Amino acid sequence: MAKRGRLDDVVIIGVGCSKFGERYDKSYEDLAVEAFEECLKDAGISREDIEAAWLGTFFPGFGGGMAGSSLADAIKIYGKPITRVENYCATGMEAFRNAVFSVAAGVYDIVLALGVEKLKDRQSRGLPRIDWHPLLAKGNTAPGVFALPAVRYMHKYGIDRKPLARVAVKNHRNGAKNPKSHFQKTITEEDVLSAPMVAYPFGLFDCCPVTDGSACSIIARKEVARELKKDYIKILGIGLAVTSARPQFKPDFEYIGFPATRLAAEQAYSMAGIKPENVDFAEVHDCFTWTEISNYEDLGFAEKGHGWKLIMEGETEIGGRIPVNPSGGLKSFGHPIGASGLRMIYEVVNQLKGRVEKERQVKLRNGIGLAHNLGGPGSVACVTILGAE
């Protein structure tokens, strides 16, 4: 059966992003406002023009995030529908997806998707765990969960930690050129390999940081963008896939990749009417270094078991065949859960418009960029494909 629609009438007219990092001087509301004001200016509209909004926050508290009123109070938009969205680490792109589909459905002309998270003021050193089992979940951590498939992959395909280290080096080098990233310094392969171990094979520099930050996007009907005489970015396709959050109970789970990413990518490629080789560059969910390598394969940029070759051969560098995470990725830019997916959208839009720092600008062949958000133990994935006007 043919897919219905290709989101032809929906475009992005504005994006914004706060500085990511340890923002102890800013509140939850401050971060939301920082991204929103940039986004509103970029779109060239007033806040009164926004008809509805979606707020992405994974872990509410410390100033907001429990409901839509957290966003209403921050950006002073009252009396309009605002929905809080949560879907593990894919929360940001899930907020974006819902906003896009509301315009595609013809319900609204202009809407907002905003993701924000305040994590550094909490007592927990890492991402707070939400246990679903009284025994099996005790003591597990995000590095530990992702380390399991990483070890399995390394064993099956006979690689060591060097490809993982190359991912960290690449993303820190990109992030060092990005004024809004959390970490703005370069590292060496030796730094990665000799760093304190967190959960083998992940050392300190293999793990993305817990971060404060916010990012947002304003979405509109194409006709409205033309009336406003705004340059816009086309939304070519969006896919979301949800698989089991308990993969250890599935006999067919191989622990070498994430089926949710493959399924979401298939949906997005089908909706966009393109293939992986048509994508110029990608922002992917590199919560850990090996996860980026797995994403190369699950997104179709390499065959299963060959993704590590892309990083070793420089193909995912800014000047390579398929640049990945020119922003610095989660590894360097940071990972405020509810904001990360929208931060990826922010980067893709700015790359397609040619307005990032010159040394970070990728070469555009087809004018197509991809953003990928992964959540939970790899159980939720969202893929968005955008195109230049």
The three-state (H, E, C) secondary structure of 106-145, written as one string:
CCCCEEEEEEEECCCCCCCCCCCCCCCCCCCCCCCCHHHH
The dihedral region occupied by 185, where left means phi > 0, alpha psi between -120 and 50, and beta the remainder, is: beta
Which candidate in 17, 39, 89, 382 is catalytic?
A: 89
CATH architecture of 10-121+208-388: 3-Layer(aba) Sandwich (3.40)
Question: Catalytic site residue 89?
Answer: yes
pTM of the model: 0.96
Let me know if 331 is exposed, middle or buried by CB neighbors in 10 A (0-12, 13-18, 19+).
buried
Secondary structure class of 18 (helix, strand, coil): coil
Helix H or strand E segment including 282: strand 281-283
Torsion sign, CA atoms 233, 236, 238, 239:
negative
Question: Catalytic site residue 155?
Answer: no
Question: What does the pLDDT read at residue 250?
Answer: 75
Nearest 5°: CA angle at 260, between 237 and 218? Answer: 35
**Closest to 340 (Cα-Cα) out of 197, 213, 181, 195:** 213
Contacts of 79 (CB under 8 A, 6+ apart): none
The four Cα atoms 181, 330, 280, 98 give a dihedral, to 10 degrees, of: -100
Residue 90 in tokens: 């894919």
Question: What does the pLDDT read at residue 73?
Answer: 96
Which candidate in 207, 335, 372, 382 is catalytic?
A: 335
**Closest to 163 (Cα-Cα) out of 339, 293, 333:** 293
Consecutive 10-residue averages of pLDDT for the chain (389 residues): 66 98 96 98 98 96 87 97 96 98 96 96 67 66 92 97 98 98 97 98 97 98 95 97 82 87 97 97 98 98 98 98 98 97 98 97 98 93 96
Tell me if 72 sits within 8 A of 78, measured CB to CB. yes
**Closest to 357 (Cα-Cα) out of 230, 193, 176, 216:** 176
- Residue in the structure block whose two tokens are 């949800």: 242
Question: What does the pLDDT read at residue 2?
Answer: 45
Question: What does the pLDDT read at residue 254?
Answer: 84
Q: What are the residue ranges spanned by the domains of the chain?
A: 10-121+208-388
